[in-house]
Structure 1
Amino acid sequence: MKRKLAVIGNGMAGVRCVEEIYRLSPDAFEITIIGDEPHPNYNRIMLSKVLQGDTSITDITINDFSWYKERGIRLLLSEKAVRINTGSKKIHLESGKEVSYDELILATGSSAFIPSIPGIQKSGVTAFRNIKDCETMMEASESYRRAAVIGGGLLGLEAARGLLNLGMEVHVVHNASYLMNRQLDTMSADMLKRELMGQGMRFWMEKRTEKIIGRKRAEGLQFSDGTKLIADLIVLAVGISPNIAVAANSGIKTNRAVVVDDYMRTSVPHIYAVGECAEHDDTVYGLVAPLYEQGKVLARTLTGVDTAPYKGSIPYSMLKVSGVDVFSAGDIQGSEVQVALQQYNGLQGTYKKVTVKEGKIAGAVLYGDSTEGMKLLDLLKKRAAAEVLLEKAESPGAGGMDGAVMAMADHETICSCNGVSKGAIVLAIGEDNLQTVEQIRDKTKASGSCGGCKPMVGAVLNCVLSGAGGVKTVIPICSCTTLGHEQVKEAIIANAYINAAHVRADLDWNRSEGCQVCRAAIPYYLGLVNESDRNAVRLPYPVRVEISSNYLEPSDVLVRDFSLSAVPAGWEVYVGGHAEHPVKQAQLLAVEAEETNARQLAAACMQWYRESAYYGERPWKWLDRIGLLPLREKLLDLETQEELSERWQEAERMEMAWSGK
């Protein structure tokens, strides 16, 4: 019998977790989802597009009603959970209904923070958090002319842009000295303010609202300094407040939000929390990428799949604010960080700043051009040394967004919200003949959440369709992934993975346990990085080696993987022969006068095969792929040859130690 899984919350975090659970183990649970809105799962981040009038509610729907039906998910809408009986495992709804569960996920999200300002309950005052709020604002724009948005953060500016599009005069009120003060520094914020003023917005900076004036309906704001702003519509966009009432009423530990551990478990067994209602390591995240990362960990936990624990996320924003590309990540200001790089281009309207802490990259902000955003985020996650910025400055990528895409490795992430790599997008384009960004979104989810990576997705598409260099379709290692051997090798080299399960989890294997092919390939690649690993003494494929010391006697040197043959002039070194179908004649690598030198060259060649071949790739296939001339150029450099030979000998010594000989 299936276990009963209940999810309180039909938002982005909870439903994404359900998607992951269904992908990993579609028959594990009988699922019930409880939502307090009348709509199916939709993209809350795109509400500003609905408000602006160029997007419909249908357009921002992530999973329509048919999605739930096809998966046998029971969907209860316009229902509010009020209490959980953790003993009997029953959820009590406001309507009087009860829902039983074996496992329960709290994904209640958050609500707009409502400040305690006199007059806040007057007609004409609305938050900006859901579809109903959008409809309220759109209706108001038909009868009223002047709007005031309280809050100069991202949400407030998006609301202001939408109201401008609706034909209203818009005033933005902010209590800080510059806009988006959590994501930007003063320079980038000033650039943004000038741009938005040019679009028609008006700003009231360093203003604290004392009360909302008006008799029955809001008529404006009065500030603490005595000044007033007359307005017909007041929009609140001053932050969010986690929805924790049902947890608190049920004896589940809460602080700012519902307290969870590294596997998203609450203080009560069989109850978990993800998203904006969850507090992990004293942190509550309000961005999409961390919420999805939490969901993946929880999905694997519930389905019994090995998973690395959730260890927190680096908050970042890659978005378009009223038509302006903005990227922000990490610590960009404060006493503990220093500015390592700062560039301003007044003609192009672009700005870039990178900060460091204790010699490591700590944060970055980009304005006007966000093409380097994902690359900087990757450096930030790796805690790369500040010196890498000099390398970037000396070798900039050419060609704007397309150039940035071509410079990316296949395993690097394009869409951090959904964990979609460049290689996965390229593969999807090739396999399904995708022609638009929307088709890529539907197939891979790339650009389907915050939308900040949409220009990068478009650049990948342009490069593939135009046949540009640096973007090619890869052959996956196996059916468990869209990544090829080179992508997985690059990812393993770039990241300190604990084990093969960690690799599969981080690179989004569609079968968490892998298959026979990747269960052998991944440990091999891990061994290339970790010299103490048993796998560091292995070859990509079993090889045959022949040494012929008498050229007058017949031998099989020309059909062996690696071989040495004595000749009057010394010793010939061969590589890439094959005696079975297809028969391949070995290629002459070089002629050495001394046997010692020939053995060193052969050892170097075998070590380079070990390090650069794909797992399961025979030497003749490896030689066909890399080419004989490039191989000669590498191995006939004596310094390189000696280094490779020494590594081969060290591996042989390790093999003897492992074998106890």
Structure 2
Amino acid sequence: MVLVTPASNSIENDTELSGGEASSENQAPLVIVGTGLAGYHLALEFRKLDSVTPLVLISSDDGAFYSKPLLSASLSHGKTAQQLCQTSAEEMARKLDAQILVHTRVASISPHSKTLQLQQDVDNHIADIPYDRLILATGAHCRKLTAIAGNAHARLFRINNLTDYHRFRTALVGCQRVLLIGAGLIGCEFANDLVQAGYEVAVVDPQEWPLASLLPEAAGRDLQEVLNNSGVRFYLGKSIRSLNKNPKGIEALLDNGETLVADIALAALGLEANTALAETAGLKIQRGIAVDRKLQSSNPHIFAIGDCAEVEGHQLFYVAPLMTCARALAQTLSGNPCPVHYGVIPVAVKTTLRPTTLCPPHPGAEGSWQVSQDTKGVCAEFRNSRGELLGFALTGAAITERERLISECMPLMDNKSFE
């Protein structure tokens, strides 16, 4: 375990942890598990309001601060993992006046004693540390492939962090043909990025059009046509049965009997919240860690934020709600309870070949898509029986309608206050 401290503090023994010389010796720290966008932005917002409370962040990697959304849009710009890293853990520790434990795993949480059990690896118990309040910002992992046979899984990659990006970018050397599994939001962004980087891209997805869970068919087909015209080949409504090595690279057998040959494969099948650590604390789990609008879990001293959290039924893997949550939770942790309010949250898909903005209605919302379309783009509005706008999707030149639709669209949450 490596302990990074701000310049004003001394580096402490690995088996001891306090808030630093400037803090009360008897005060347990505020602990944030995770140093992704959620963990770091919460820490930054909290320090704007509270410069005294001891603050500890725990990272399973090197703790570098970077923008995860750039992972699916940087290959065409030739960006290395090192270039995507904005700030080191040491610099963040100084900026936050915090202690940051890097390459450290939290094995379990003991809510009754309000302690965390830390490990450097599976068999090496390092330390128990106390917390006053605990925030889980453990993120999400890539959804795994199921029922795909074959011996070429070593050539199948997933990208969910800087290490993954570095591994894939290195493996791409000498490759030309990329098999992309998944035509969702991240899959389309990677297709857009890879084809502009000069690769031959084939996309396979069981859905009938790109982003089928977020876009109406007209908008999805519009995006597909532009990407196809740029060189991306789509195999939609199909699944991969096996992935095997062959003398030319790898060979994917589709469920219709068709075979695709590529040099390397990338899976982009969406995300699932990391909830295993929360389960050790007996927290309520749904699709993510269930929290209320204070981002408080079923334990009053434990909170969750970011991709790992499900906020009053909403699970949104986007940056805008994460930032909203960071500002609200910082207020709550500073003694000013502040409920999260999700308004209208449009998402700009990083498909630069065909600019696309989506604001999907809440899952299960009753209504229908009303679509207007021409060669310049698609404007789709999701309205209920009363004519209220619950969501929208825009492609091409139609993205100029974004602000008008935002002003009319119903917010995801009402603006209720605490009881």
TM-score range, shorter chain: 0.7 to 0.9
Displacement of 1:214: 2.6
2:169 is matched with 138
1:107 is matched with 137
1:379 is matched with 408
Displacement of 1:286: 0.8
2:159 is matched with 128
The answer to which of 54-63 and 148-157 deviates more is 54-63
Corresponding residue to 1:356 among 369, 383, 402: 383
**Contact persistence 1:163–1:170 (CA under 8 A):** yes
Q: 2: distance between equivalents of 1:120 and 1:248?
A: 34
1:78 is matched with 103
Greater RCO between the two (CA within 8 Å, min separation 6)? Answer: 2
**Contact persistence 2:373–2:379 (CA under 8 A):** yes
Deviations 1:134-190 (A, max 9, x none): 222222222333210000112112222333344432101111111111232222222
2:51 is matched with 26
1:444 is matched with none
Q: 2: distance between equivalents of 1:286 and 1:217?
A: 37
2:342 corresponds to 1:318: no
**Contact persistence 1:264–1:298 (CA under 8 A):** yes
**Contact persistence 1:183–1:317 (CA under 8 A):** no
**Contact persistence 1:141–1:166 (CA under 8 A):** no
Matches within 5 A, 1:256-655: 256-307=287-338, 309-312=339-342, 314-331=344-361, 336-339=366-369, 342-346=371-375, 349-357=376-384, 358-369=386-397, 370-381=399-410
**Contact persistence 2:81–2:163 (CA under 8 A):** no
Change (3 A) 1:150 1:83: same
2:21 is matched with none
The answer to which of 271-280 and 159-168 deviates more is 159-168
1:11 is matched with 36
**Contact persistence 2:185–2:349 (CA under 8 A):** no
1:411 is matched with none
Deviations 1:24-81 (A, max 9, x none): 2222x21111112224121100112332234454554454442321322111222222
Q: 1: distance between equivalents of 2:305 and 2:32?
A: 10
Gaps of 5+ in 2: 1-23
Corresponding residue to 2:94 among 44, 51, 69: 69
Instruction: Please state which structure has a larger fraction of its residues in strand.
Output: 2
* Secondary structure of the structure 1 residue equivalent to 2:227: helix
2:67 corresponds to 1:40: no
**Contact persistence 2:180–2:265 (CA under 8 A):** yes
* Secondary structure of the structure 1 residue equivalent to 2:116: strand
Displacement of 1:380: 0.8
Deviations 1:247-268 (A, max 9, x none): 1123222222111122111122
1:648 is matched with none
Q: 2: distance between equivalents of 1:198 and 1:213?
A: 29
**Aligned residue identity for 2:340:** Y
2:5 is matched with none
**Contact persistence 2:383–2:391 (CA under 8 A):** yes
Corresponding residue to 2:119 among 94, 118, 121: 94
**Contact persistence 1:32–1:73 (CA under 8 A):** yes
* Secondary structure of the structure 2 residue equivalent to 1:52: coil
- Segments ≥4 residues shifted beyond 6 Å: 215-218, 332-335, 496-499
**Contact persistence 2:80–2:166 (CA under 8 A):** no
**Aligned residue identity for 1:352:** C
**RMSD across aligned C-alpha pairs, in angstroms?**
2.8
Change (3 A) 1:333 1:85: closer
Q: 2: distance between equivalents of 1:143 and 1:209?
A: 24
**Contact persistence 1:147–1:235 (CA under 8 A):** yes
**Contact persistence 1:82–1:93 (CA under 8 A):** yes
Change (3 A) 1:333 1:123: closer
Gaps of 5+ in 1: 384-495, 502-661
**Contact persistence 1:123–1:217 (CA under 8 A):** no
